[in-house]
Amino acid sequence: MALTTYVEAIRQGIWEEMERDERVFILGEDVGIYGGAFKVTEGMLERFGEMRVIDTPISESAIVGAAIGAALMGMRPIAEMQFIDFISCAFDQITNFAAKNRYRWGAGVPIVIRGPSGGGVHGGPYHSQNPEMYFVHTPGLKVVAPATAYDAKGLIKAAIRDEDPVIYLEHKYLYRRIKEELPKDDYIVPIGRAAVRREGKDLAILTYGAMLYQALEAADVLAREAGLQTEVVDLRSLLPLDKDAILSAAKKTGKVLVVHEDTRTGGIAGEIAAIINEEVFEYLDGPVLRVTAPDTPVPYSPPLEEFFLPNKEKILKAARQLAAY
């Protein structure tokens, strides 16, 4: 069986949903003739036509506004942000309309807003952000961040079928680096479920997105060096969070390290630490620790970006500290 890249998994998921449901369409900058800045929509204009693959002006607020209107008229829009950083231009439409509409008058807004997030590619401060927490803080939205090709496909299909707005964060560093055999049969990955990627009893690392692979590498080193069995949990869904998986890992190991590429203050690590402290404090054998990016914009300079981003060595330092506590 051929291996499928992370970016191709997203493309396949969208393609299959457009084949399955004629209400599904995609709109965004350069999604049609050019096939998308990262080629996620390549070939779709030829297959589905210009009524379902729509090139738009460079206006994220217009893209999301049009998607909301189409959703209220019975369509299933996928709005692409060419880089997820520019989702901020559509913040009002997302947080004050799409997210609140079901609460306000009972009408769901079944849109997917997707785009490339994250650093590691020297994109600088306007093309490398992780804006998830603006939206995790907004009731009415769902926020997902797949780390594997299997999840990338399964979560985009679940997002398209969802009756409410979903923010779908695809990490650009993973696009062509991650490859996997995918099932031929139709499948989805349920939103709101974490996945245990490595079993362990001594320490738990909770993470998502590209940091999953740094965590797994660190877990390998801890096993070789110290015989530590590290459980690695891939959150996958940030809103809703899989509280059961989080609490289970905390109870099982007694020591929890939360890792994310997002900046530190207001990051999801703080929320996870609060959940653990409130609900399973008596099981802990050490403080919940965080490994995150510092509170600065993402640097353009490659050495500065390397300093900024969490990595295996930073995870190992915190894990050793926690294991010795």
Q: Looking at 122, 127, 171, 260, which residue is catalytic?
A: 127
205: which 2 tokens?
Answer: 């690392």
CA distance 299 to 279: 37
CA distance 118 to 123: 9
**Is 127 marked active-site?**
yes
232: which 2 tokens?
Answer: 């690695």
Q: Count of CB atoms within 10 A of residue 193's CB?
A: 14
Residue type, 217: E
DSSP, collapsed to helix, strand or coil, labels residue 188 as coil
Length reported for the chain: 325
Residue 252, judged by CB atoms within 10 A of its CB (0-12, 13-18, 19+), counts as middle
To the nearest 10°, report the CA torsion of 42, 109, 192, 121: 40
Enumerate the active-site residues: 127
